[in-house]
Chains A and B, each alone.
Chain A
Amino acid sequence: MPERALRLNGPSLEIVSRCDGKHTVAQIIADLQKLYSKAEPHKVESDILGYLALLQKERALDFSA
């Protein structure tokens, strides 16, 4: 991002590395539910949606249809 940087680790890195204009949000959720199979799938989904919304508000990413 212009004049800023994100410090990524663990799940945040897994999410952002999939924000490549090719993965859909559903694919990212499915990937991470597999990766973090011990976590509650609904919790994984809501955490991802929350994090993506935060990045959008910060203007670090956009959603396309």
Chain B
Amino acid sequence: MTASQANPLALVCELTHRCPLHCVYCSNPQELDRRASELSTEMWISVFRQGVELGVLQADLTGGEPLARTDIVELVRGARSAGLYVSLITSGLPLDEARLDALIAAGLDHFQLSFQGSNDQVAEEISGTKTHAQKLRVLDWLKSRRVAVTLNFVLHRRNLHQMDGMLAIAESSSATRIEFANVQYYGWAFLNRELLLPTRAQLDEFLGKVKVAEERLHGKIRVEYVVPDYYARFPKPCMGGWGQKVLLITPSGDALPCHAAGVIPGLQFENVKEKRLGEIWDSSEAFQRFRGESWMQDPCKSCDRRAQDFGGCRCQALLLAGDAAATDPVCSLSPRRHSVDAILSTVNSPPTSAWQYRANLS
């Protein structure tokens, strides 16, 4: 380890892989953890405290669906009393007004509600469930409550044309932040890429609209967005650098540098049931593996942008180039960029595959 290793800022807590939805782009791994392997309430609360000792500021309680944990109110209270800023990243069910009040009373700071589109039809197609109306009810309940609200819209080929409807939902709510997150192709989204990948024309229209919205809503709603990196010239600075800012805990307690890191062969993950969080962060093999620059190959290792984007995403390098230490193939400087261009060149042909919905476990 290096003595100067900065502390993580955010602890992403995948409380469970259980979820009532079956979204075709779910970021959970294809191998889901079962309920019986989930960490206990006490273990999570210990993890929150260890996180604070390590310098973590925020806990993102996510899943799966975090509300599927019957102890969610206790977990929010535990994270808040440990001293963390607590976000709940949720589909909005199972939730009623009494449970929402209990979460807020327990100290919830921020409620992030995901949407699959601006109307029932696309939401049902993407999530395999009828849940859009419940989300609108939750937004209505949130109006009279004291908690920060973000709406998260996951964007792709089937709903990019619904930007105006999505903005209308946000503007009639109490949200102070909107995230327009174009699908990233890992996990279930990688399986469904052919059906999800937008066209260049769709993307250009989106970028035009999002800039207008940003300007118009300035001071009312922060508009944040992620572009699909297959269309980018340079890769995203994934996770703000491997093992630099974020520490993710899976439902069964494995500590990962990012949600997709499990796809990289040969990475050994430590578990919070066996090791202290600080020790895992400072010196575990998985966190050390792609820290700094010593793992880089050309063109990254001599590139002026290496301190800006860290060579892009390790999981994407593995998925597209077959080598987790390669330059992210979306980079225009990558010798593998042609493989991404080949994928994009098929985007105007009619898809030949059918949706593969995210599995569900009990």
Interface residues of A, Cβ cutoff 8 Å to B: 1-3, 5, 56-59
> Helix, strand, loop or mixed for chain B's interface?
strand
Known interface pairs A2-B148, A2-B150, A5-B9. Does A59 touch B177 (Cβ–Cβ under 8 Å)?
yes
Q: How far is the CA of A54 from the CA of B346 in the complex (A)?
A: 46
Distance between B324 CB and nearest chain A CB, rounded to angstroms: 26
Task: Find A57's partner among B9, B177, B219 (CB 8 Å cutoff).
Answer: B219
Q: Which residue of A lies closest to B217 (CB)?
A: A59
Interface residues of B, Cβ cutoff 8 Å to A: 9-10, 57-58, 85, 87, 110, 112, 148, 150, 176-177, 218-222
List of B residues within 8 angstroms of A58 by Cβ: 222
Q: Which residue of B lies closest to A5 (CB)?
A: B57
Q: Is the CB of B218 within 8 A of A57?
A: yes
Distance between B350 CB and nearest chain A CB, rounded to angstroms: 37
List of A residues within 8 angstroms of B150 by Cβ: 2
List of B residues within 8 angstroms of A56 by Cβ: 219
Q: Which residue of A lies closest to B9 (CB)?
A: A5
Known interface pairs A59-B176, A59-B177. Does A3 touch B10 (Cβ–Cβ under 8 Å)?
yes
**Sample of 24 A–B contacts (CB below 8 Å):** A1-B85, A1-B148, A2-B87, A2-B110, A2-B112, A2-B148, A2-B150, A2-B177, A3-B10, A3-B58, A3-B87, A5-B9, A5-B57, A5-B58, A56-B219, A57-B218, A57-B219, A58-B222, A59-B176, A59-B177, A59-B219, A59-B220, A59-B221, A59-B222
Q: How far is the CA of A64 from the CA of B5 in the complex (A)?
A: 42
Q: Which residue of A lies closest to B150 (CB)?
A: A2
Q: Which residue of A lies closest to B148 (CB)?
A: A2
List of B residues within 8 angstroms of A5 by Cβ: 9, 57-58
Q: Identify 18 new A-B residue pairs, CB closer than 8 A, beyond the known A1-B148, A2-B87, A59-B219.
A: A1-B85, A2-B110, A2-B112, A2-B148, A2-B150, A2-B177, A3-B10, A3-B58, A3-B87, A5-B9, A5-B57, A56-B219, A57-B218, A58-B222, A59-B176, A59-B177, A59-B221, A59-B222
Q: How far is the CA of A59 from the CA of B219 in the complex (A)?
A: 7
Q: How far is the CA of A58 from the CA of B87 in the complex (A)?
A: 18
Across the A-B interface, the 9 shortest Cβ-Cβ residue pairs: A59-B176, A57-B219, A2-B110, A59-B222, A5-B57, A2-B150, A2-B177, A2-B87, A2-B148
